Every structure is written in C-alpha cells, then in structure tokens.
Amino acid sequence: MFRLGSIGFARFGAPLILCAAVLVLSWPVADATAREASPSAKRPASVAKGKVKAKTAKRARPAVSRNGAVAGGSPVRHARTVDAPRPSLGHAIGLHAVGDPLSLRSAVALVVDRDTGEILIDKNSQAVLPIASISKLMTAMVVLDARLPLAEMLAISEDDVDTERNTRSRLGTGTRLSRGELLQLALMSSENRAAHALGRHYPGGMPAFVEQMNRKAREIDMTSTRFVEPTGLSSNNVSSARDLATLVRKASNYPLIREYSTASGLTVDTGYRTVSYRNTNRLVGNPDWEIELQKTGYISEAGNCVVMQTRIDNRPVVIVLLDAQARVARIGDAQRIRQWLERAPRTDDGIGVGAHKVSAQQRAAQPSRDS
C-alpha cells in the first residue's frame, strides 16, 4: 500500500482550504457546465428559434477597408479575449501537487478491498471536496429505502430544470416516465432532471428528501459528507474519498443500483419521441473490466470523478478517483491502478493475506501517462 496526502493537510491547512473554497464557490456558475448532463438544451425565451437571426439581420455593420480602418475612423483592432479555465477546488488548495508512484492525474485516489476494508492505495483520501453526480448514488439509496412504486409514472416539470448551471437535458417538461426509468437514467447517464424529479416526488417533497440523504449519510458513518440537493450540480454536495468508499460498499447491497448503474443503455418514450441513453462510464461493457457498480461525475469545482466497485485479479475492490482534469484522465488512472494491482506481489505479512505493497522497482518503473 502507498499512502499520500499528508501534504494536502499539513501544508495546506484548514484556513487555506476554507479560503480556497470560498474563492472557488464564489465564481460565477454560468461557465461551470456539468458535462455529465445529457445533451440537448432548452432554449431560453430570449433566444427562441428565429429571434436571434432576425435581430442579427437588423444590425448595420460599418464599412471596413482593406487596411482594417472603418470608413471615416481609425483602424479596427480585433481584440479577442479568452477566459482562462478555472481550476477545481482540488487545484486551488494544492492537492494536485501531491505526487504518487503511479503518476495518477486525479488529485484524490483511494482503493479499498471490498470485503476486508483494507486500504491498498491512499492519496489525499481525507480531503473534503465537491462530488458532483456521485451524489446520485445516495439519491438512489434514499428512493429505494422508501419502497416507492417503481412503476409509478412521474412528470418532469419546470421545477426540475437546472437554473444554476443551465445544464442540458433531453427530458422536456411534461415528459412522463416511470420512477424506475428515472432512477436508471440518473445512475447510468447522470440525468439531472431525472434525479431532481425523484427527489421532488418523495413524500414530503425536496426538503424531506435532502434531510433523508443526510440522515442516511450519518447512519452509514459518512462523517465528512453533506448534501443540499439530489443531483450533484451544487458544489455544496461534498464528501471525502473515505466516505465515498463507504457509500459504494453500502450501495452495492442494492441489486437495482448495481444493475442500473452498469447498464450499457436505455431507450425511453418521452411522449414526444423515443430517446436513447448510454452509460457515461466508457469502461462499462469493456470485456477487460468486471464492473459491479459505478458512478461518474463532473462539475468545474469537482473536476472529473468516478467511483467503481470491480474485481481485479479476482479481488473485489472499490476505486474512488476525484478531481481529474479530463474524462480520459480518470479512465487512465483506473487502468494504471488495475495494472499495478495485477502486477503487485501478494504476501502474507501478518496484516492479511493479499496485501499489496509498492516496491522500489515499481516506484522506478512508473506506467506511462496518457496523452
């Protein structure tokens, strides 16, 4: 096992984390599009079809000569401003400065033996960060615990439309789907309107649902976790890798969560058209992987995240990767972890049979990084 992350707290203490969190969370959220959301957007009223074109056609453009001068004026300067990408919270507090023997691109990594709880890889696992759509695992647990009828038809309403980040959805208002379909879309494709509708149709409404999310977190000893809504679009949904490993292990006890989160796709009838969805995790369906449960997530404050329960070298493990810079980076990190676990020798050192250790040779021969 290797442990890393003391730098994340010894070097960057709680005051700095708090200041960085305030800085990151105060950024305008308009630029922080949640890429895990399904494609297709609802047009704002101000840009309804046909209006933009008409307004553009009315604009009179000044005559510009070959040398770039406006007729009767000075040369035109074509200034182009490009907004620099905003760092995630993990970047802001320096978690990416912590190195590791596997050259992982995720700021946080944790690998745990599913059966024994033994920690095999630990990098910044106690850092509390936004968790994006990984929140939907708790959403699913709360829905299933309530034993609400999965065949009941629920309607998507204006209340389910994301007005914080303006993420897109192919579930238009008025769409009616069963609770089971909404649950699968939330887990498999990170459908935000589906997850929000599940919370809204909970007995007592959204306040009762969020309260139950937090109560459930306390019940299963997720001591560093807080939820404010069911989708993960809010950066105030926070947790640590340690807590998320617990969440994955508990969620794996629900057969429907295992089934829905690892489904390759689902086609639904929205009442207007037939829409096909696919899994957001490209490792699902890969014959080299035996994934029993998974959930991806992304918002700008959280970076690219993924949690999985899988079997590697016939060993059940939970993998938590938070705050990677790109989707392919989190997949590359998962591949590196798998290769290391498959190559690492197994020993009986008195701690437990099968404990993996990082040798000096393995440290020197680091796997190549994805481009």
Which sequence positions are flagged as catalytic? 133, 136, 190
State how far the Cα of 139 lies from the Cα of 97, in Å rounded to an integer: 33
State how far the Cα of 199 lies from the Cα of 281, in Å rounded to an integer: 24
Strands (E), the chain: 2-4, 108-113, 119-123, 129-130, 153-155, 176-178, 238-239, 265-269, 274-278, 291-299, 303-312, 315-324, 346-347, 355-356
Rg of the chain on CA atoms, in Å: 23
Q: Which of 244, 217, 233 is nearest to 106 (CA)?
A: 244
Q: How many CB atoms lie within 10 A of CB 287?
A: 5
Strands 303-312 and 315-324: antiparallel
**Burial class of residue 211 (count of CB atoms within 10 Å of its CB; 0-12, 13-18, 19+):** middle
State how far the Cα of 43 lies from the Cα of 220, in Å rounded to an integer: 41
Q: CB–CB of 312/341 below 8 Å?
A: yes
State how far the Cα of 161 lies from the Cα of 297, in Å rounded to an integer: 18
